[in-house]
Amino acid sequence: MAKVITEDIGAYYHHYPRVAAIVTAQAKGRQNAMAVAWHTSLSFSPPLYAISLSPKRFTYQLIVASKEFGVNFLPFSQAGLVASVGGSKGEEIDKFRQFDIAQDKPVKTQVPILKDAYAAYECQLIDDKGYGDHRLLVGEIVAVHSLREAFAPEETLDLAEVSPVFYLGNERYVSVSRETVKHLDRKVYGKG
C-alpha cells in the first residue's frame, strides 16, 4: 500500500478512535454537558486530567466561573446521548432536561455526575492555557465515581461488562469487544 504524503492536514482524524466522554460543569445557576474526544491523563501524583475545549463553548465559560469540571465515561449503549449533547448548544437548551439525563450526587464539587457513567471524575481546575484555537484545562481529580463490576481486579475496564463509546470522527461511533483484547506483557515484549 502506498502512503499519501501531503501538507494539507485535512479533517485531522488520523489519531482517532478516541474514547468519547461527557464533560459537565455548573456555575451561576446553570449546568451543561458536552461531548469531548480530546482529553487525557497527565499525572498519577497528583492525579491530573486534562480536557481540550474551545473557549467559545458554554461549558468552558461555566468551568472558568466555577473552577471545576466533571469527566464522565459512558458505555456504548449511551452513544446516542453522547451524540445528542455533542450536537446541541447548552446556551440554548437545558440538556439535562431535554435529554432526560439522570444524575448522581457529586462528593467534592458541584459538577453534575451522570448516573449512566461507568466512571466519572470530579476535577478542580488548576490550570487553563491556550493552544491554537483551544484551551487546555487541567484538573486535579478530587473524587472518582466508578461502577465496581465494570472493572477487573487489576482496575482495568472489563469489556465483558462494559464497552466504552469510541469516537471515530465525522459523527461516527464504534465500540470494542473483549475478543479484541491482547495482553502483551512489557517484561516479555520490552526485551531487546
pLDDT, position 192: 60
Residue 172 lies in a domain: yes
Tens-digit pLDDT profile for residues 53-77: 999 999 999 999 999 999 999 999 9
CATH number for position 99? 2.30.110.10
Residue 81 lies in a domain: yes
Q: Supply 7's cell numbers.
A: 501538507
Per the domain annotation, does 3 fall within a domain?
Answer: no
Using an 8 Å Cβ cutoff, are 116 and 102 in contact?
A: yes
Q: Is residue 11 a part of any domain in this protein?
A: no
How many domains in the chain?
A: 1
Q: CA torsion angle for 55, 56, 57, 59 (degrees, to 10)? A: 50
> What's the CA gap between 62 and 64, in Å, rounded?
6
The pTM (predicted TM-score) of the whole model is 0.93
| Confidence check: pLDDT of 90 > 90 | yes
